[in-house]
Structures are given as structure tokens and as C-alpha cells.
Structure 1
Amino acid sequence: MLRVGIIGVGNIAEAHVDGYRRFPEECEIVALHDVVAGKAAARGRDLGLDAATTYDDLDEMLATARLDLVSIATPPATHSELTIRALRAGVDVLVEKPMAPSLEECDAMIAAAAENGRMLSVVAQNRFRDDMATLKEVLDSGLAGPVSHVQVSSAWWRGLPYYDLWWRGTWESEGGGCTLNHAIHHLDLTLWMLGSPRAVTAVLANTQHENAEVEDLSVAVLQYDRALAEVTSSVVHHGEEQAIVVQARDARVSQPWKVVASTSGANGFPLPEGNPDLVDRIEALAAGHAPLPHEGHRGQIGDMLAAVRDRRPPAIDGEDGRRAVELVTAIYAAGIERRTVDLPLRPDDPYYRTGTLTQRAPHFFEKTSSVADLPGEIIVGGSGT
């Protein structure tokens, strides 16, 4: 039975608690910590974790709770320090997205895992979804042909009170806006399906949230050798209609699910009937997808528990988390500097380092209010994807 601790008991911690509870024969949540005195004890009672020991002191928890694994569910700016402390204490780590606000911090986390012989996984729960797994299987099959163009709509909507929470809305504590903290889901999926681009251009804006320094909208173009991907990152889209649309040489495939396969007439214009045989083959492949036993956080937590138990690499490791942060960093650098940014980013690039974003990013507005907590539930998935 693996002994699990949770560091940070804000709203996203509930998704981790639910995930671990799906595997009662494999693990037990035995410890909770939060930096706010008394909060871990109160949240433990709310979540029905009466048997878990609660700690206001993290060092005490790491020293006495005999943990196998911790989930880190704290604000992004704290991820690196907390992850490294846990790894050095001999505990495997599952850390929430984004991995950290800078590549320098990501690399320090990866190094700490290697130096201490521990496992590090970064939450990317949308890879554990049947619709996304189906889309990847179709692309990997080659039936659609080489990719030409991808439209990624990471469309969310958040009202003004969203940025009232104390750590949101500043470059220093949140690490960025919707590109880092919302679209990282879709950017990770893009990397998973297409690999890393060779260059990025982008534009950043804050169109509706006057109580936040950070962007609430960005549009990026990712350049591949023979393809382009457009990524819209937003918290201003009513309806949160999210989508990934892949146009390939022989067919279009997308989530929400749609398949179209055009064929050419002698003059190059599309024939009305298209290519029904190819559509049928793609539909058959999609229909044959074996459903995942668990989706979302539950799926990733199940994988991580198995990885810890069997001492094998997790499906999503620190390098995966780093790649997503690298792409976000390139989008920010391109938008701030108003230039094309080549990938990969080198360690001598100013944007590799911790603190560069805080120094160089524009303050679209100044944060006007700050509260310790907000009522209501969080949403970890929108309409579509």
C-alpha cells in the first residue's frame, strides 16, 4: 500500500484526492500540508480524510510521514522549490501543471529527480482522455497523410473575480496568464501529437480583465518543417468551445470528432463525393479505440501509482512537462519581443532564466484586488476538448 501526501489543499487538490480514491487497494492518502496554518486540517475534514495527518510544516511532513508519493497542487511559482524538497527527501512527485514558470526551474526539478533516484511526473491529464487518444491513434496511423495545418482552440471563459485570488493575475506568482495556465493543456496535446515546432510567432493581449497584469488572450503560430499550427489561448471565449482540427494531405480529422476526405477533379477543385472509402477506414480505426480504464486526473494518477510500484517511468515525465513550458516560454518571448523565436531555447537565452518574464513582460493592467480564497468549484475541462 503506497503512502500518499498532498502538498497544497486548494481547489485542484480535490481532483487528486478523487483520483487516489479510485485505487483504494493500491494507495492511501496519509498526509496533507498547506502553507496556510490550519487550512490542511479544515480541508481534510471537508474531503473526508479524517485518517490523514495534517501538517502546517512541510519539513515535518516529509521527515515523519514515511511517504512514497506526493501530489503538489500549489500555485505555479512554488512548484520548483516544493518538488525539489520532496525529491531530496526521497519521495516521488506528481506536480500540477504548469511544471514551473521557467525552463531553469524545470531543469532543476529534472536534475533533482535524477540525482536522488526518484520519479517526477507533471500533470497532463488530457492525454488520458478517450477522444484525444483516438485522435492521436488516427494521426499515428498515417491514414490522413502528412499534416498541413492545425487549428487549436484553447477557449475558456473566466469572469473578473477569477483574478481576485491572491496568486492569480501577476507574472511573479502565476507565472503568466491563459497561455501558461489554461492553454498548456492544448499545447501539451499539440506536442504529443505533432512533436516540437522549429519556430514560434505570437501576439499577446489583455482584452477584458482589468484586474490582472497578465494576458487573457494570445494567438500563436507554430512553424513545423512543412506545416503550421495556430493556437488561440483564451479566457474570453463564451461557451468555451474548444477544438483541435487537423488538416492533413488526405483528410481532415478533429475533436470534437469529424472526418472529411476531399479528392481532386482534373481541374484541382474538390469532387462532391470526396473519398468515402478513406472516411470509412478512419471511422473504423476510431471505433476500434479501446476505452481507457480511467480518464483525466484519475488516469494519470493510476499510471503514476503503477510507475511508483513497479519502478518504471511514468507515461508523462519531467521532460514532457518541460517541453510544454518551453513552448509557452517561446510564445511569451515572441509576443513580448515581437519577433520569431527559434526552438529549442538555449540556456543562454534570457527567457530560459527565472525572473526574465517578471522583468520584461508588459503589465497590461495592475492587479486591483486580492483575496485569500474564492467560493465555488473549479472547472478542469470545457466544452469540446
Structure 2
Amino acid sequence: MLKIGIIGTGGIARAHIDGYQRFPAECEIVALCDITPGKAAAVGAELGLAGARAYDSAEDLLAAERLDLVSIATPPSSHAELTIAALRAGVDVLVEKPMAPSLEECDAMLAAAAENGQLLSVVAQNRFRDDMATLKEVLDSGLTGPVSHAQVSSAWWRGTAYYDLWWRGTWEKEGGGCTLNHAIHHLDLTSWMFGAPSAVTAVLSNAAHENSEVEDLSVAVLQYDRALVEVTSSVVHHGEEQAIVVQGRHARVSQPWKVVSDAAQENGFPAPGGDPGRVAEIEALAASHTPLEHEGHPGQIGDMLGAVRDRRRPAVDGADGRRAIELVTAIYAAGIERRTVDLPLAPDDPYYRAGTLLERAPHFFEKAESRTDLPGEITVGSSAAAGR
């Protein structure tokens, strides 16, 4: 029975707790920690974890408990420090996205994992979704042909009060805006499906959130060998209609699911009816996808529990988390400096270092409201739409 600790008991911690509770024969949550006095104990009681010990300090938790795995679900600026402390204490780590605000911190986390022989995984729960797994399987099959163009829309919507929470909307504590903390999922999927680009250009804006220093909208173009991938990162899109649309030489596929395959006449114009045979082949491949036993956080947590038990690489490791941060960093560098950024970013690049964003990033607005907690439920995507 693996012993689990949770550091940070805010909103996203509930997804971790739910995930671990799906595997009662494999693990037990024995400790919770939050810097707000009494919060860890209150969350434990609310969620049926009466036997879990509560701490106000991660240092105290790591010193007192003999854990196999810890989930870190705290604000991004604390991820590196807490992850490194846990790894040095001999505990494997599953850290929430984003891995850390800088590549320098990501590399320190990776080094700590290697030096202490521990496992490090970064949350990328959208890889553990049947629709995204199906899309990747189709792209990997080669049926679409080489990718020409993709549109990746990380479209979210948040009201202005969202940034009233004390750590949000600041370069220092949140580490960035929607590009880092919302589109990180889609940027991870972009890396997973298409690999690493060779260059990035981007623009940043704050279009609708006056209580936030950081961007609420960015548009980036990622350059590959011959393909271009557009990524829109947003918390200003009503309806939160997210999508990945991929144009291959032979067919277009997308999530939400759609398949189109054009065929050319002798003059190069589209032939009526397209290529129904290729469409049928792609549809058959998609239909053959074996559904995942668990999706989202439970899917990744189940994989991580297996990795801890078997001492194998998790499906999403620290290097995967770093790749997503490298894309975010390139988007910020391109948008702030108004130039094309070549990848990979070297350690002597100023944007590799922690602190460069604090020095160079624009304050679109100054944060005037700062609250320790916000009322109301956390609603995202389909859960919000269901209430309309």
C-alpha cells in the first residue's frame, strides 16, 4: 500500500484526492498540508480523509511522514522548491502544471530527481483523454500525411474576480498568465503530437482583466520543418470552445472529431466527393481505439502509482513537463522582445533564468485587489456549460 501526501489543498488538490481515491487497493492518503492554518484538516474532514494527518508546513510533513509519493498542488512559484525538497527526502513527486515558471527551475528539479534516484512526473491530464489519445493515434498512423498546418485553441473564459486571488495575476507568484497556466495543457499536447518546433513568434495582450499584471491573451506561431502551428491562449473566449484542428497533406482531422479528405482533379481543384476511402480508413482507425480505464487526473495518477510500484518511467515525466515550459518561455520571449525566438533555448539565454520575466515582462495593469480565498465553485469547460 503506497503512502500518499498532498501539499496544497486548494481547488486542484481535489482532483488529486479524487484520483487517488479511485485506487483504494493501491494507495492511501496519509497526510495533507496547506500553509493556511486549519485548511488541510478541514479539507481532509470534508473529503472523508479523517485518518490523514494535517500539517501547516511542507517541511514538517516531509520530516514526520514516510511517504512513497507526494502530490504538489500549490501556486506555480513554489513548485520547484517543494519538489526539490520532496525528492531530497526520498519521495517520488507528481507536481501540478505548470512544472515551474522558468527553465532554470525545471532543470534544478530534473537534477534533484536524478541525483536522488526518485521519480518526477508533471500533471498533463489531457494526454489521458480518449479523444486526445484517438487524435494522436490517427496522426501517428500516417493516414493524414505530413502535417501542413494546425490550429490549437486553448480557449477559456474567466471573470475579472478570478485574478483577485492573492497569487493570481502576478508575474512573481503565478509566473505568467493564460499562456503558462491555462494553455500549458494544449502546449503539452502540441509537443506530444507534433514534437518540438524550431522557432516561435508571438504577441501578448491583456484584453479584459484590469486586476492582472499578466496576459489574458496570446497568439503564437510555431515553426516546424515545413509546417506551421498556431496556438491561441486565452481566458477571454466566451463558451470555452477548445479545439485542435490538424491539416495533413491527405486529410484534415480534429477534436472535436471531424475528418475531411479532399482529392484533386487534373487541374488541381478539389474533386467532388473528395477521398471517401481515406475518410473511411481514418474513421475505422478512430473507432478501434481502446477506451482508457481512467481519464484525466485519475488516469495519470493510476499510471504514476504503477511507475512508483514498478520503478519505471511514468508516461509523463519531468522532461515532458520541461518541454511545455520551453514553449511557454519562447512565447513570452517572442512576445516581450517582439522577435522570433529559435529553439532550443540555451542556459545562457536570459529567458532561461528565473527572474527574467520579473525584470522584463510588461505589467498590463497593476493588481489592486488581493484576497486569500474566493467564494463559489470552480467550474471549467463542460461543467460550466452544463449549468447554462
TM-score norm. by structure 1 comes to 0.99
Q: Is the 8 A contact 2:212 2:364 kept in 1?
A: yes
**Alignment-mate amino acid for residue 24 of structure 1:** P
Match of 1:355 in 2: 355
Q: Secondary structure at the match of 1:90?
A: coil
Is structure 2 residue 242 aligned with structure 1 residue 235?
no
Is structure 2 residue 374 aligned with structure 1 residue 369?
no
**Alignment-mate amino acid for residue 134 of structure 1:** T
- In 2, distance between residues paired with 1:316 and 1:228? 25
Q: Is the 8 A contact 1:153 1:242 kept in 2?
A: yes
Match of 2:36 in 1: 36
**Alignment-mate amino acid for residue 360 of structure 1:** R
CA displacement, residues 274-298 of structure 1 (integer Å, 9 cap, x when unaligned): 0000000000000000000000000
Cα distance, 1:165 vs. partner?
0.4
Cα distance, 1:382 vs. partner?
5.2
CA displacement, residues 131-162 of structure 1 (integer Å, 9 cap, x when unaligned): 00000000000000000000001000000110
Q: Cα RMSD between the aligned structures?
A: 1.0
Alignment of 1:139-218 (within 5 A): 139-218=139-218
Q: Secondary structure at the match of 1:237?
A: coil
- In 2, distance between residues paired with 1:281 and 1:21? 39
| Identity rate, percent | 79
Q: Secondary structure at the match of 1:5?
A: strand
- In 1, distance between residues paired with 2:73 and 2:153? 26
Q: Secondary structure at the match of 1:244?
A: strand
- In 2, distance between residues paired with 1:242 and 1:71? 27
Cα distance, 1:376 vs. partner?
2.4
- In 2, distance between residues paired with 1:169 and 1:269? 49
Match of 2:83 in 1: 83
Q: Is the 8 A contact 2:240 2:381 kept in 1?
A: no
Q: Is the 8 A contact 2:88 2:112 kept in 1?
A: yes
CA displacement, residues 156-187 of structure 1 (integer Å, 9 cap, x when unaligned): 00001100000000000000000000001000
- In 2, distance between residues paired with 1:302 and 1:204? 37
Is structure 2 residue 265 aligned with structure 1 residue 265?
yes
**Alignment-mate amino acid for residue 2 of structure 1:** L
Match of 2:292 in 1: 292
Cα distance, 1:42 vs. partner?
1.4
- In 1, distance between residues paired with 2:45 and 2:222? 46
Q: Is the 8 A contact 1:241 1:382 kept in 2?
A: no
Match of 2:343 in 1: 343
Cα distance, 1:48 vs. partner?
1.6
- In 2, distance between residues paired with 1:355 and 1:196? 25
- In 1, distance between residues paired with 2:151 and 2:163? 28
Match of 2:71 in 1: 71
Cα distance, 1:57 vs. partner?
2.5
Q: Secondary structure at the match of 2:28?
A: strand
Cα distance, 1:36 vs. partner?
1.4
Q: Secondary structure at the match of 1:54?
A: strand
- In 1, distance between residues paired with 2:9 and 2:43? 7
CA displacement, residues 200-242 of structure 1 (integer Å, 9 cap, x when unaligned): 0000000000000000000000000010000000000000000
- In 1, distance between residues paired with 2:154 and 2:304? 26
Judged with a 3 Å threshold, the aligned counterparts in structure 2 of structure 1 residues 308 and 381 are, in CA distance, closer, same or farther, namely: farther
- In 2, distance between residues paired with 1:19 and 1:380? 17
Is structure 2 residue 58 aligned with structure 1 residue 58?
yes
**Structure 2: segments with no counterpart, 5+ residues:** none
CA displacement, residues 57-94 of structure 1 (integer Å, 9 cap, x when unaligned): 22221122110000000000000000000000000000
Q: Is the 8 A contact 1:262 1:275 kept in 2?
A: yes
TM-score norm. by structure 2 comes to 0.98
- In 1, distance between residues paired with 2:377 and 2:7? 19
Match of 2:104 in 1: 104
- In 2, distance between residues paired with 1:358 and 1:43? 33
Alignment of 1:300-315 (within 5 A): 300-315=300-315
Cα distance, 1:377 vs. partner?
2.6
Cα distance, 1:381 vs. partner?
4.4
Match of 2:133 in 1: 133
- In 2, distance between residues paired with 1:379 and 1:181? 16
- In 2, distance between residues paired with 1:339 and 1:38? 48
Q: Is the 8 A contact 1:156 1:382 kept in 2?
A: no
Cα distance, 1:45 vs. partner?
1.3
Cα distance, 1:43 vs. partner?
1.4
Q: Is the 8 A contact 1:245 1:255 kept in 2?
A: yes
Q: Is the 8 A contact 2:134 2:289 kept in 1?
A: yes
- In 2, distance between residues paired with 1:228 and 1:196? 12
Match of 1:275 in 2: 275
- In 2, distance between residues paired with 1:178 and 1:97? 12
CA displacement, residues 79-110 of structure 1 (integer Å, 9 cap, x when unaligned): 00000000000000000000000000000000
| Bigger shift: residues 37-46 or 139-148 | 37-46
